[in-house]
């Protein structure tokens, strides 16, 4: 008797939260944690090198641009398309309660953000438009309760770098 061999190769994994709100909403966090653990155990990479959001003919490779353009779209809906927006704070914690809160990810996010907004490329919905953006925050805040909120700084309170930031000249 021949024993069948089954080879399964996944090309994509899609996870959603459509059950929120609803009676199954309490299971979403656990399901997402299980999915993240399974992907990590399989040594699966989750790159964001392609479109992560597709909306109304626009392709977004990062959620920052998608969120900014959603504000522009909302302004257009209320006939306020001439209003400029400023991103008053954005950042990534270098420490905290989670696997994705670490120095490597914080440095990657901040340096990619700086390169992006200083390039003058704009967003898919506002190509070529400069976007005034401010990082949260210059120093880690050791007076806050321990956790992620305390660790968004580019510098420790003693003025040493948490990680190197590539500011344009």
One of 89, 132, 149, 161 is an active-site residue; which one?
A: 89
**How many Å separate Cα 132 from the centre of its chain?**
18
18 is catalytic: yes
Rounded Cα distance, 138 and 147, in Å:
17
89 is catalytic: yes
Closest-CA residue to 127 (of 55, 67, 79, 58): 58
Tell me the H-state helices in the chain: 28-41, 63-77, 103-118
Q: Which residues participate in catalysis according to the annotation?
A: 18, 89
């Amino acid at each position: 008797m021949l024993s069948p061999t089954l080879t399964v190769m996944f090309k994509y994994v899609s996870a959603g939260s459509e059950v929120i709100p609803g009676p199954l909403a309490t299971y979403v966090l656990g399901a997402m944690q299980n999915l993240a653990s399974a992907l990590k155990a399989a040594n699966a990479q989750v790159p964001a090198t392609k479109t992560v959001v597709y909306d109304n003919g626009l392709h977004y490779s990062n959620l920052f641009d998608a969120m900014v353009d959603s504000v522009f779209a909302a302004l257009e809906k209320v006939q306020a398309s001439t209003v400029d927006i400023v991103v008053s704070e954005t950042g990534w914690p270098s420490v905290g309660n989670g696997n994705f809160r670490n120095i490597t990810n914080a440095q990657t996010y901040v340096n990619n953000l700086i390169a992006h907004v200083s390039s003058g490329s704009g967003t898919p919905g506002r190509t070529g438009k400069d976007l005034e953006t401010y990082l949260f925050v210059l120093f880690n805040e050791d007076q806050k309760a321990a956790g992620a909120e305390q660790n968004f700084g580019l510098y420790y309170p003693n003025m040493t770098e948490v990680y190197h930031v590539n500011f344009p000249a």
